[in-house]
Amino acid sequence: MIIQLNQTVNEEIVATLLKRLAATPATVIRIGTHVAVPEVNQVTLMADEAAQVAEIIEKTPAAVLGSRLFQPEDTIIKLPHSTIGGKGGFTMMAGPCSVESEEHVRRMAKVAKEGGATLLRGGAYKPRTSPYSFQGLGEDGLKYLRAAADENGMDVITEVMDETHVDLIAKYTDVFQIGARNMQNFSLLKAVGKTKVPVALKRGLAGTIDDLLNASEYIAAGGNHQIMLLERGIRTFDNKYTRNTFDLAAVPVLQKLTHYPVIVDPSHAVGEWDLVTPMAHAGVASGASGMIVEIHDDPEHAFSDGPQALKPKTYLKMTKEVFELKELMNSWEA
Ligand code: PEP
Ligand code: MN
């Protein structure tokens, strides 16, 4: 249930109402004039309480806090060098799949920045399909990534795979990435939900849109409302020519259902570098708030995800086109 309060209310009466509702097993969460009461679908108001209330929405989605019914306005995430969400802007995030060395990530940061990226990506803890594949440089990788981003005036996005790493990674990053394989790792979601670090939640390989929204609600329920959702392709019956199936319709659907920024990841969606640019075009055209893309200057020798990495020249051409497309789209809105 969502209770929409009047613009001006008698705080004493509202406090009594919220206390009464909190007596149920639900947790009452209030942001300004919006009050979310998850798991409660009905309330009988006293006359003085009813006078404080503009509207009660009883039929709510499972992800109450993430719902547009709870917060109609877009969530806008502000970082030192980037703004994510809201109208008109487009946030580029780029970098290698893995942090490979201090020198390499510095080189890639320069390229990423030149293409208009304001966030540098790179994994220091890698979720690999095989335990024998490269697992990441760990804390050294985080240090290299942070230094490369600082050197270029960029923010950092990096994956947190395990709840025991949350505090350590928070020291180095501006955004926690939760990988597709961890979308429903509820203890990890709860752990990042207790922090104030923005979270980029990737859609699971077999995650429905409701699964993704419910997963985001775990983060929001912990008190962290700085969330963005990443569409990175899902598993379908056909992965012969693309690594995953890019569900672009998820972008406008999520934007309708939730106020969180939606970001596209064409790299993991298709898995082949020559398919990334057309899908990057499609990603911006879908109305996403930003994009995360993998780059490498020697993809054949990349420690991970080489086949999908864009070489610098291709990346620079792609981002130029993507920003031009975004400008064209903005001219339609004007
Ligand atoms: C990544 O960003 O390198 C990654 C592992 O992504 P995903 O969780 O989407 O597979
Ligand atoms: Mn990758």
Q: pLDDT tens digit string along 231-289?
A: 999 999 999 999 999 999 999 999 999 999 999 999 999 999 999 999 999 999 999 99
CA nearest ligand 1 atom 9, residue:
180
pLDDT digits (tens, 9 = 90+) for 146-190: 999 999 999 999 999 999 999 999 999 999 999 999 999 999 999
- Indicate which atom in ligand 1 lies nearest the CA of residue 202: 9
pLDDT digits (tens, 9 = 90+) for 97-116: 999 999 999 999 999 999 99
CA nearest ligand 1 atom 8, residue:
179
The b/e string for 289-324 (b: 16+ C-beta within 10 A; e otherwise) is: bbbbbbbbbebeebbbbbebbbebeebbebbeebee
Q: What is the pLDDT of residue 61?
A: 86
Q: Is 222 in the pocket of ligand 1 (CB under 6 A)?
A: no
User: Does residue 22 or residue 6 have the better pLDDT?
Assistant: 6
- Indicate which atom in ligand 1 lies nearest the CA of residue 305: 3
Short-list 57, 61, 13, 52, CA closest to 33: 52
- Indicate which atom in ligand 1 lies nearest the CA of residue 181: 8
Q: What is the pLDDT of residue 31?
A: 85
Contact 265, 303 (CB under 8 A): no
Q: What spacing in Å lies between the alpha carbon of 294 and ligand 2's midpoint?
A: 7
pLDDT digits (tens, 9 = 90+) for 22-71: 877 778 888 889 999 888 888 999 999 999 999 999 888 889 999 999 99
Q: Is 97 in the pocket of ligand 1 (CB under 6 A)?
A: yes
Q: What spacing in Å lies between the alpha carbon of 170 and ligand 2's midpoint?
A: 20
Q: What spacing in Å lies between the alpha carbon of 65 and ligand 1's midpoint?
A: 26
From CA 76, how far away is CA 203, in angstroms rounded? 20
CA nearest ligand 1 atom 10, residue:
180
Q: What is the pLDDT of residue 22?
A: 82
